[in-house]
Amino acid sequence: MKMKRTLLTTLATLACVAVATSQAPVAVGVRIPESAALTYPAQQVILKKLQQLATLNGVGTEAENARFWLTPQVSIVESHVTPVAPPRQLVKLNVVLMIADTAAAKSIVAQAELSAKGVGKSEEEAVINALQQIDVRSATLKRFMEQGKKGITN
């Protein structure tokens, strides 16, 4: 009986210490800017990738009123048609990911830049293919998310 009481007291103390030292969870929403020059299907692909990125790093939220937002800026750097039959469209994208603090005059907490290449029957298909090639588990994006978490908690 005495051992049981000692064990329960120890567990309760450890739980109190854990709660006292833990920080509030970081919540980052995902948003595609209205000014994005992407087609709706391409927006859905990048949105899904960003949601995966946030979830894998433990900061994803569905809240519409989140203070921090993960948002992309996608631009086509290069686009041309292959000289083979059947012709295919090749694109090279520049993708800038940002975690922004909407409460602090829209300051950027973290930023990462990626390049992606894709091929398809049309430019739209090539853009979608390029966005699908983004690896949300890459070391670059892991560092980006860690930098964002540090910027949010500081």
Compute CA distances 154 → 25, 59, 107, 147, whole Å. Answer: 13, 15, 14, 11
Neighbours of 128 (CB within 10 A): 22
- The average pLDDT across 57-82 equals 87
Q: Looking at the domain covering 38-153, what would its CATH class be? A: alpha beta
pTM: 0.77
Tokens 């979608």: give the residue: 128
Q: What is the mean pLDDT of the chain?
A: 85
**Cα three-residue angle 86-89-92, rounded to 5 degrees:** 150
43 within 8 A of 34, measured Cβ to Cβ: no
Asked whether the predicted pLDDT for residue 26 surpasses 90, the reply is: no
pLDDT, tens digit, 9 for 90 and up, residues 89-146:
999 999 999 998 887 666 888 999 999 999 999 999 999 999 999 999 999 999 999 9
- Domain regions of the chain by residue span: 38-153
Nearest to 87 by CA among 61, 54, 125: 125
